[in-house]
Amino acid sequence: MTGMPKETIRYTLKKRFPALDLRVETVFNLGEMGLQRYSATMRFAPDALPHANSILDKLSSGAFLIYHSGVLLEPTQIALFTVPVLVEERFQSFMRSLVDEGILKDVELNRIDWFRNPELKCGYYDFDSGRWGIDWKEVGAHPEVPPAPIVLDQPRVKPVIDWTDLMLIQEHQASSLTNLTDISEKLKMNAVTVRWHYRKHVVPLISYHRVRWIPVRGGDQTKVVGASFAFGQLSKSQLGKVRLLFNNFPFTWYESGSRDGGYIVELAIPIDEFVLSLDFLNARLGGMSLPPWKTYLLDVRTSMRYTVPYENFTEKEGWFFHPETALSSILSIAKA
């Protein structure tokens, strides 16, 4: 495609991009794997708050949590779950039980019907210095209409994956550029078997690759402020206006929505551009006639992303969920 030597491409992706705080990620079709996305806003009860990190770890290993980030100045977590379609009702009941048992003060759970990762706004990024340079007048002057949201198909009840496929998927979620030979050695699997599963089963599940700005080089997470906006019951016209705004905003990481007009967008704003970013958004959102929305400032130091929830999959059962076991493990932490 580029006419460039393979060695140059490999160097750019593996060496130059990371040095510029850029990362290549693989996005998989979770619906084909039998998984349904859910967004959640969880507020911890005061007694459980000291154990929040341990509880979140248990949710990731036993209850399908794939992402969470703390909210500044309040005991709240913004979270994403990927739930097997066969156990959705049990999962929803499990989340309500966390409130009943005093672990959470409240929880808002929303089924995601569509999502999108907006492209990196390369025109505002200086690849020589690895810094953003935003002309805010330019941002608002020539807005580009974003692609229409594509409503996700109903996840497969019986997904066509096995344990080997799932191990390969989680390894590529952790690092898109991992060599198959290295994966086979790490998993202690035959290299030929790994390559066959990758080509026959894993590649067809890849939706796309994306380049994302991750400003945490060397563990330094003081260069960015996260933000999440949650809108409810937007009309088609209102949704179009809000999406136009955030898809042209330089620092949008993720957007998702539901059939009832719900819309959630997450941002990662460089600290140098934070005040001007808020000025830009405040002026434009204030000029729209919208239902009330919620704004959360995220503490990126607490943000965690996890791979596909392979702990809840076996070769024999496929996807499974034992809510009683998950709840018991969480209660044992909270009452310790």
Question: Looking at residue 115, what is its pLDDT?
Answer: 93
Question: Looking at residue 130, what is its pLDDT?
Answer: 79
Sorted by sequence, the CB contacts under 8 Å of residue 35 that are 6+ apart come out as 64, 82, 83, 84, 85, 155, 159, 308, 319
**234-284 confidence digits (pLDDT tens):** 999 999 999 999 999 999 999 999 999 999 999 999 988 999 999 999 999
**pLDDT band per the 50, 70, 90 thresholds, residue 126:** confident
Beta-bridged to residue 116, according to DSSP, are: 255
**190-208 confidence digits (pLDDT tens):** 999 999 999 999 999 999 9
**56-71 confidence digits (pLDDT tens):** 999 999 999 999 999 9
> Looking at the predicted structure, is the pLDDT value of residue 218 above 70?
no
Residue 103: name the closest of 332, 331, 324 by CA. 331
**pLDDT band per the 50, 70, 90 thresholds, residue 149:** confident
Cα–Cα distance between 137 and 161 in angstroms, integer?
49
Question: Looking at residue 298, what is its pLDDT?
Answer: 93
Higher per-residue confidence, 172 vs 126:
172
Buried b (16+ CB within 10 A) or exposed e, 288-320: eebeeeeebbbebebbeebbbbeebbeeeebbe
Question: Looking at residue 217, what is its pLDDT?
Answer: 56
Rounded to a whole number of angstroms, the distance between the first and last alpha carbons of the chain is: 58
Question: Looking at residue 19, what is its pLDDT?
Answer: 85
Q: What angle do CA 104, 108, 110 make, to 5 degrees?
A: 140
Q: Phi, psi at residue 38, to the nearest 5°?
A: -135, 140
Phi-psi region of 73 (alpha: psi -120 to 50; beta: other; left: phi over 0): left
Class in CATH terms, 115-152+224-298: alpha beta
Higher per-residue confidence, 46 vs 220:
46
Percent of the chain with pLDDT over 90: 74
* 98-120 average pLDDT score: 95
**Domain ranges in the chain?**
115-152+224-298
Question: Looking at residue 216, what is its pLDDT?
Answer: 60
Question: Looking at residue 214, what is its pLDDT?
Answer: 77
> Looking at the predicted structure, is the pLDDT value of residue 89 above 70?
yes
**pLDDT band per the 50, 70, 90 thresholds, residue 21:** confident
> Looking at the predicted structure, is the pLDDT value of residue 85 above 90?
yes
**25-58 confidence digits (pLDDT tens):** 999 999 999 999 999 999 999 999 999 999 999 9
Q: How many other β-carbons are positioned within 10 Å of the β-carbon of residue 132?
A: 17
Question: Looking at residue 32, what is its pLDDT?
Answer: 94
**296-312 confidence digits (pLDDT tens):** 999 888 889 999 999 99
Question: Looking at residue 79, what is its pLDDT?
Answer: 97
Q: Which two tokens stand for residue 265?
A: 């967008």
Q: Phi, psi at residue 114, to the nearest 5°?
A: -155, 155
* 163-177 average pLDDT score: 93
Question: Looking at residue 18, what is its pLDDT?
Answer: 87
**pLDDT band per the 50, 70, 90 thresholds, residue 223:** confident
Average pLDDT, the chain: 92
Distances in Å between the alpha carbon of 31 and those of 4, 40, 58, 206? Answer: 35, 19, 24, 11
Question: Looking at residue 331, what is its pLDDT?
Answer: 95
Lowest mean pLDDT among 96-105, 143-152, 274-283: 143-152
Instruction: Assess contact for 155 and 85: CB atoms under 8 A.
Output: yes
Question: Looking at residue 90, what is its pLDDT?
Answer: 97
